[in-house]
């Protein structure tokens, strides 16, 4: 029964995102992350930024704060950290800002949590080119 459910799920995933047929395992965390593309900066700004609170924080700042919180929790939620870094980059965060955000949390979360968050962020940023490193 479980194998049948898994096969049905994989077919549904392939129908939603044909790129997964190229080898990503949708049952893995990275495969699951690939189901959800990064939102465009404008959509993030609308949902998380200044649309409702015009004098409030922008999407980039909110995402950096989210990354800080995830780091303080010990960077245990791999997918959440990677997705937050992806979205922060899309919202305009530079590599240096991401690294500084995570590094600042070493004071509160400890060196192991900081190192883990940096490893996860590096996975995301490895392919990104950024002039301001």
Please name the CATH architecture into which domain 38-125 falls. Answer: Up-down Bundle (1.20)
Residues 6+ apart with CB under 8 A from 132: 94, 95, 96
Residues 6+ apart with CB under 8 A from 23: none
**In contact, 96 and 59? CB cutoff 8 Å:** no
Q: What is the DSSP letter of 56?
A: S
Rounded distance, CA 105 to CA 112, Å?
A: 11
Map residue 55 onto helix, strand or coil.
Answer: coil
How many CB atoms lie under 10 A from the CB of residue 60? Answer: 22
Rounded distance, CA 38 to CA 30, Å?
A: 14
Half-sphere exposure of 45 (CA within 13 A, CB side): 12
User: Is the model's pTM score more than 0.75?
Assistant: no
Read off the pLDDT band of 133 (50, 70, 90). Answer: very low
60-102 pLDDT, tens digit each = 998 999 999 999 998 888 888 999 999 999 889 999 999 999 9
Read off the pLDDT band of 54 (50, 70, 90). Answer: confident
- pLDDT at residue 32, rounded to an integer: 58
Rounded distance, CA 122 to CA 114, Å?
A: 12
Q: Domains of the chain: which residue ranges?
A: 1-28, 38-125
């Amino acid at each position: 029964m479980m194998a049948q459910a898994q096969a049905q799920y994989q077919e549904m995933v392939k129908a939603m995102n044909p790129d997964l047929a190229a080898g990503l395992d949708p049952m893995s965390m990275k495969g699951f992350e690939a189901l959800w593309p990064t939102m465009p900066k404008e959509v993030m700004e609308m949902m998380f930024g200044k649309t409702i609170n015009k004098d409030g924080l922008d999407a980039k700042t909110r995402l950096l704060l989210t990354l800080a919180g995830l780091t303080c929790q010990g960077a245990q939620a791999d997918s959440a950290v990677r997705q937050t870094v992806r979205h922060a980059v899309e919202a305009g965060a530079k590599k240096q800002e991401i690294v500084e955000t995570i590094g600042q949390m070493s004071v509160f979360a400890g060196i192991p949590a900081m190192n883990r968050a940096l490893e996860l962020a590096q996975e995301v940023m490895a392919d990104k080119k950024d002039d301001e490193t």
